[in-house]
Amino acid sequence: MEFDTIAAISTPLGEGAIAIVRLSGTNAISIANKVFRSPNGKDLFTQASHTIHYGHLVDPKKDEVVEEVMLSLMKGPKTFTREDVVEINCHGGLVTVNRVLQLILINGARLAEPGEFTKRAFLNGRIDLSQAEAVMDLIRAKTDKAMNVALGQMDGRLSRLIKSLRQALLETLAQVEVNIDYPEYDDVEEMTLPLMIEKSTWVRDEIDKLLLTSSQGKILREGLSTAIIGRPNVGKSSLLNSLIQENKAIVTDIAGTTRDIIEEYVNVRGVPLKLVDTAGIRETEDIVERIGVEKSRQVLNEADLILLVLNNAEQLTEEDRRLFKTIEDMDSIIIINKTDLPTEIDVDEVKQLAGNKRVVTTSLLKEEGVDELEEAIASLFFEGTIEASDLTYVSNARHISLLHLSKSTITDAIEAAQSDVPVDMIQIDVTRTWEILGEIIGDTVEESLIDQLFAQFCLGK
């Protein structure tokens, strides 16, 4: 049996240092080959089955390295699905894995349906008869769940926007159809190429905006934007380091070491974070540092989550109090660091300033309290205070890949219109765009075009 190529994240979402994106199907190897670069330029097609390869994933369109990975190559039929299978192991992080998955989807794979790997295993004779019932149950259960999640989690704004795009496309389509099916009707405006370009371009721009700004999409691509703020030398860079467990930011005991903004992507208990270490926020004379400080304020304004670090060994300053004021209305966690040193800070005042924000104490030097902090971040996220959840993420991966697809089909339409292809051919791509957008909101009513036709225009003998 021959199927198209499917892909999905095959490790449980959330924690775990290693995540696997699995591809299965006829084009698994060729898709992997498109995005995988090994240091010595291996061609995956020529490699033996059941081998592992080190290399980088590259976005072939931008020629940009996306991730460092280990790739396992398994040729059918000795695989779980009996098809060619490629597994891409990347380290951790929902964000990372998601980026890898997106890359694979854009390059020709389709996001697997719930239970689809197992279904293929069955259809290709890998699983025996007694297991078939179980597979069917699995599909039913997973589909129902996914549907509930999709319905429950779908951002109302997103679905409204998609609906309005579809309506615009539908009206365009109906107009083209009327021109075709009722050529003699003179009171219907002719859908000309410039008009088609205008309408399609508007739709593409909206899709672009969606891809860029949809808050969920942004979280997926970039992680929850998290700013670490605090006066100089309180331990901001140390916090970042302990969260990413490697020394990327420079840690010194000279106040004002971090003069610019350092960004890191991490996965804290399943929550994708884009951590931003800021230069200590304070009035400063040093010009280089001043620029850093200004940027910090900006980061602060754009952040979804704030980690405010205080120094246990110093008294609260006016600056600290000002920072509290700034983050008053934002999702934030207060960290009292350096608990290994004698307490100078007025803990009661901190608690009072924090209000209902959580206060966590740490000694980053002794690696104490980080667990509690991570737990605080995760609970903020999952309890819905910050908008998202790992299940939304699943449907989001679908949404984003569908948005990308719809963007490429509407772009085809625009380009065709620009080179004078007849309207009724461009229609093919416009229709496809309409269908893909429909998949996002689960709307596949087939008759709608014909309904639109007769609702919009007065036709007949």
Partner 1 sequence: MPNFEAGKFDVIVVGAGHAGVEAALAAAKMGAKTLVLTINLDMIAFMPCNPSIGGPAKGIVVREIDALGGAMGKVIDKTHIQMRMLNTGKGPAVRALRAQADKVLYQNEMKRLLEEQENLTIHQAVVEELLVEDEKVIGLVTQVGAIYRAETVIITTGTFLRGEIIIGDLKYSSGPNNQQPSIKLADSIRELGFELVRFKTGTPPRVNSKTVDYSKTEIQPGDDVPRAFSYETTEFIMDQLPCWLTYTSETTHQIINENLHLSPMYSGMIKGTGPRYCPSIEDKVVRFNDKPRHQIFLEPEGRNTREVYVQGLSTSLPEHVQRRLIASVPGLENAEMMRAGYAIEYDAIVPTQLWPTLETKKIKNLYTAGQINGTSGYEEAAGQGLMAGINAALRVLKKDEIVLSRSDAYIGVLIDDLVTKGTNEPYRLLTSRAEYRLLLRHDNADLRLLEIGFQIGLVPQERYEKFLGKKQRIEDELSRLRNLMIKPNETTQALIRSVEGSELKDGIRAADLLKRTEMNYDLVGQLVPSEIELTLEEKEQVEIQVKYEGYIEKSLQQVEKLKKMEDKKIPDQIDYNAISGIATEAKQKLKQVRPLSIAQASRISGVNPADISILLIYIEQGKIAKITG
Ligand X SMILES: Nc1nc2c(ncn2[C@@H]2O[C@H](COP(=O)(O)OP(=O)(O)OP(=O)(O)O)[C@@H](O)[C@H]2O)c(=O)[nH]1
Relative orientation angle of helices 423-440 and 390-418, to the nearest 10 degrees: 170
Kindly tell me which of 181 and 344 has the beta carbon lying closer to partner 1: 181
Hey, is 38 helix, strand or coil? coil
Q: CB 260 → ligand X: shortest distance, Å?
A: 10
- Of 352, 350, 355, give the one whose Cα is nearest residue 328: 355
Euclidean distance between CA atoms 459 and 461, whole angstroms: 7
Q: CB 142 → partner 1: shortest distance, Å?
A: 9
Euclidean distance between CA atoms 448 and 453, whole angstroms: 8
Euclidean distance between CA atoms 337 and 311, whole angstroms: 5
Dihedral of the CA atoms 41, 44, 45, 46 (nearest 10)?
60
Give the contact letters, 274-313, x = binds to ligand X (CB under 6 A), - = no.
Answer: ------x---------------------------------
Binding residues for ligand X restricted to 184-243, rule: CB under 6 A: 230, 232-238
- Which of 128, 184, 187, 253 touches ligand X by CB under 6 A? 253
Kindly tell me which of 53 and 236 has the beta carbon lying closer to ligand X: 236
- Of 383, 374, 368, give the one whose Cα is nearest residue 267: 374
What's phi and psi for 359, nearest 5 deg? -115, 125
Kindly tell me which of 117 and 381 has the beta carbon lying closer to partner 1: 117
Hey, is 36 helix, strand or coil? strand
CB neighbour list of residue 167: distance below 8 Å, 6 or more residues apart: none
208 annotated to a ligand binding site: no
Kindly tell me which of 258 and 396 has the beta carbon lying closer to Mg ion: 258
64 binds, among Mg ion, partner 1, ligand X, none (CB under 5 to 8 A by kind): none
Task: Say if CB 218 and CB 228 are below 8 A apart.
Answer: no
Binding residues for partner 1 restricted to 288-307, rule: CB under 8 A: none
Asked if 454 touches partner 1 (CB under 8 A), the answer is yes
Dihedral of the CA atoms 429, 434, 437, 438 (nearest 10)?
-140
Kindly tell me which of 71 and 453 has the beta carbon lying closer to partner 1: 453
- Which of 77, 125, 152, 194 touches partner 1 by CB under 8 A? 125
Of the ranges 145-153, 158-166, 252-260, 286-294, which one interacts with ligand X (CB under 6 A)? 252-260
Kindly tell me which of 299 and 364 has the beta carbon lying closer to ligand X: 364
What's phi and psi for 424, nearest 5 deg? -70, -10
Hey, is 447 helix, strand or coil? coil
234 binds, among Mg ion, ligand X, partner 1, none (CB under 5 to 8 A by kind): ligand X
Kindly tell me which of 109 and 307 has the beta carbon lying closer to ligand X: 307
Residue that the structure tokens 């998202």 belong to: 388
Euclidean distance between CA atoms 99 and 343, whole angstroms: 43
Region class of 237: left (phi > 0), else alpha (psi between -120 and 50), else beta: alpha
302 binds, among ligand X, Mg ion, partner 1, none (CB under 5 to 8 A by kind): none
Chain contacts with Mg ion (rule: CB under 5 A): 236-237, 257-258
87 annotated to a ligand binding site: yes
Euclidean distance between CA atoms 292 and 286, whole angstroms: 10
Of the ranges 92-100, 268-276, 293-301, 417-425, which one interacts with partner 1 (CB under 8 A)? 417-425
Kindly tell me which of 121 and 364 has the beta carbon lying closer to Mg ion: 364
Asked if 139 touches partner 1 (CB under 8 A), the answer is yes
Binding residues for ligand X restricted to 347-376, rule: CB under 6 A: 363-365
Asked if 177 touches partner 1 (CB under 8 A), the answer is yes
Please give the structure tokens belonging to residue 22: 């699995």
77: preceding bond cis by omega (within 30 degrees): yes
Please give the structure tokens belonging to residue 405: 């697809």
Give me the DSSP letters along 176-196. HHHHHH-TT-TTSPP--HHHH
255 annotated to a ligand binding site: yes
* Per rule CB under 8 A, count of chain residues that contact partner 1: 47
Annotated binding residues, as ranges? 22, 87, 126, 233-238, 252-258, 277-280, 461
Question: Where do contacts with ligand X occur on this chain (CB under 6 A)?
Answer: 230, 232-238, 251-253, 255-258, 280, 337-338, 340-341, 363-365
Question: Where do contacts with partner 1 occur on this chain (CB under 8 A)?
Answer: 2, 113-116, 119, 122-123, 125, 128-129, 132-133, 135-137, 139-140, 143, 173, 177, 179-187, 419-425, 428, 446, 449-450, 453-454, 458-461
